[in-house]
Amino acid sequence: MKRGSRILIFLVLIIVILIAVAFLVIGRGALSTTPKVEFTPTPPLVGIVSVGQPIQRDAPIKIEALSTMVIPQNYQTEKMITNAEDVVGKYATYPLEQGLPITTDMISDRPGINQLGSEAARVINPGLVAITLPLNLQSGVAYALRDGDRINVIATTMFVDVDSNFQSILPNNFGQVVAAGLQPDASTLVTLGMNNGAGERSVGRAELDPVLNQAVYFIPAESQRPRLVSQMILQDVQVLHVGKFSLASTVDTAAVATPVDQTPIPATVVPTEKPEVITVIVSPQDAVALTYLLYGGAKFTFTLRAPDDSTRIETEAATLQYILSQYAIPVPAKLPYSFQPRIDNLQDLSSVGAGTPTPIP
């Protein structure tokens, strides 16, 4: 073979090799610039309870009216229900359309919750009623009571002796009785007694004075003193509300948007008022009894219970005799000496050192 042919073949081989190397380099560069495709995993699915048939408001929810739908788990909210047994037997608070996912605020344990009326009425269970009683610092656990608390109710009242016929407090008053229509020589009938300053005479009693050895007629130095008694009349009663209910309509502040070009109005600070009343939830019969005691002048004291305490304890009414015997309080002996100056009233110790002590009535 000639020398020129050999050179030509050698050049062709070199060109082929260079072309192959170029394709290899370009191919690798193309592969390195190709974007990587990342695999996104599909989120798990969850089944929730939905409306299979339209349900009217306040209608009981039956199993045949329910259905299920599958949604991604990341779309599930806390109010969505996954177990149909949690819905069956409940009542619809709103008209429920077919295909609507059921949430906890769409159902209730009782019908009529979404009817017109006060919000307070929705808290009261069937068979119970609410009644309002007076409240002050001492009777209301120093204003510690709050809505929803459980309390006991103590009633304190006073009793006096009355004439069963007159229904008036004893002792009776009387005056001189003159017999009318008697003969001229007949004497008048006069009863014993003393004028009480009001033109009337008071019944007293005659006693034999051991010193004078003669009858002395005694009359009361003052009117009859009432006898005090306290007793716990109700236990484990729920507080519906402390203080007065607001007469203003409830405004949804979240629905009231503030214009962009205006500065938000700061919230108004409402001063806290001392509550003068408390509303409790009781049975209808207890409400009647409380009304009777309230109009009869009884005073009520409310004691606060632990939230998890459901016990009921039999209590004994507190009277003067009970206090003296139960707590071993002796009746002071009559001694030939006493304090000076005399003490007629208990003193308010909080005023000691700040002037004249204030007597406690």
Helix (H, G, I), strand (E, B) or coil at 94: coil
Three-point CA angle 93, 97, 103, nearest 5°: 50
d(CA 73, CA 173): 88
What's the Cα-to-Cα distance from 321 to each of 233, 300, 325, rounded to whole Å?
Answer: 20, 21, 6
CB atoms within 10 A of CB 180: 6
End-to-end CA distance of the chain, in Å? 145
Indicate the residue type of 12. V
Six-digit token string for 234: 């109700």
Q: Which helix (H) or strand (E) holds 333?
A: none
Q: Which helix (H) or strand (E) holds 205?
A: strand 205-209
Phi-psi map region of 46: left, alpha, beta (phi>0 left; psi -120 to 50 alpha): beta
Nearest to 282 by CA among 136, 158, 139, 155: 155
- Please give the CATH topology (third level) of the domain spanning 45-108: Type Iii Antifreeze Protein Isoform Hplc 12 (3.90.1210)
Indicate the residue type of 53. Q
Q: What DSSP state is assigned to residue 55? A: B
pLDDT at 190 (0 to 100) = 47
**Per the confidence metrics, is the pTM higher than 0.75?**
no
d(CA 147, CA 286): 20
Q: Buried b / exposed e across 234-253, counting CB within 10 Å, b at 16+?
A: bbebbbbbbbeeeeeeeeee
pLDDT at 175 (0 to 100) = 63
Beta bridge mates, 78: none
Q: Which helix (H) or strand (E) holds 33?
A: helix 3-33
> Phi and psi for 236 in degrees, rounded to 5?
55, 55
> Phi and psi for 248 in degrees, rounded to 5?
-80, 150
What's the Cα-to-Cα distance from 248 to each of 121, 131, 244, 251, rounded to whole Å?
Answer: 16, 21, 12, 9
Contact 61, 107 (CB under 8 A): yes
The 3-state secondary structure of 146-184, one letter per residue: CCCCEEEEEEEEEECCECCCCCCECCCEECCCCCCCCCC
pLDDT at 330 (0 to 100) = 93
Helix (H, G, I), strand (E, B) or coil at 227: strand
Three-point CA angle 275, 277, 281, nearest 5°: 125
pLDDT at 319 (0 to 100) = 94
- Tell me the average confidence (pLDDT) per consecutive run of 10 residues in the chain, 361 residues long: 65 76 65 58 85 86 89 87 88 86 85 72 88 95 94 95 90 66 53 48 77 84 90 96 80 39 46 86 96 95 93 93 93 90 80 56 56
Contact 114, 64 (CB under 8 A): no
**Residue holding tokens 């009559």?**
334
d(CA 190, CA 17): 158
pLDDT at 346 (0 to 100) = 81
**Residue holding tokens 């219970």?**
305
Burial of 133 (0-12, 13-18, 19+ CB in 10 A): buried
